[in-house]
């Protein structure tokens, strides 16, 4: 006893289910698009962060080299001045050696190089 009245709710239910399924497919497609966009953005951010890290490390390396060169030049100047003073005052070699060692340790520490323990 299929009458048009009894078939109508079934047809409506099927139509509603079809619309729900289509909406679900569309939502899943949008979620997949959002996930792909998020992955692309994360990848782009990681690439920018890596490039920034590399530029920063290069800058630090250049700055460290420049500072080390400046410190070494200043050390050379200080040693020359100390030798001149030692010649004028008659300081002995052991005193000069301790002075040079202390200055070298100070320059190394300032330049960020390995710090040697002071001689006692």
pLDDT of residue 7: 64
CA 13 vs. chain centroid, Å, equals 58
pLDDT of residue 108: 78
Q: What is the pTM of this model?
A: 0.50
- Give me the phi and psi of 87, to 5 degrees please: -60, -40
Report the alpha-carbon distance of residue 84 to residue 44 in Å, rounded: 60
Report the alpha-carbon distance of residue 59 to residue 63 in Å, rounded: 6
Q: Where are the domains of the chain?
A: 4-111
Residues in the chain predicted with pLDDT less than 70, given as ranges, are 1-7, 91, 113-120
Residue 106 is encoded by which pair of tokens? 């100070």
pLDDT of residue 1: 43
Q: How confident is the model over 83-110, as pLDDT tens digits? A: 787 777 776 777 777 777 887 888 777 7
pLDDT of residue 50: 97
DSSP 119: P
CB 82 within 8 A of CB 100: yes
If you search the block for the tokens 């009894």, which residue do you land on? 6
pLDDT of residue 5: 54
């Amino acid at each position: 006893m299929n009458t048009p009245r009894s078939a109508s709710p079934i047809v409506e239910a099927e139509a509603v289910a079809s619309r729900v399924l289509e909406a679900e497919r569309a939502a899943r497609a949008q979620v997949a698009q959002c996930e792909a966009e998020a992955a692309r953005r994360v990848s782009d951010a990681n690439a920018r962060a890596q490039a920034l890290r590399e530029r920063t490390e290069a800058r630090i390396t250049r700055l460290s080299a420049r500072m080390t060169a400046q410190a070494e030049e200043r050390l050379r100047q200080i040693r020359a001045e100390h030798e001149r003073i030692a010649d004028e005052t008659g300081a002995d070699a052991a005193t000069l050696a301790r002075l040079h060692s202390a200055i070298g340790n100070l320059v190394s520490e300032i330049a960020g190089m390995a710090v040697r323990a002071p001689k006692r």
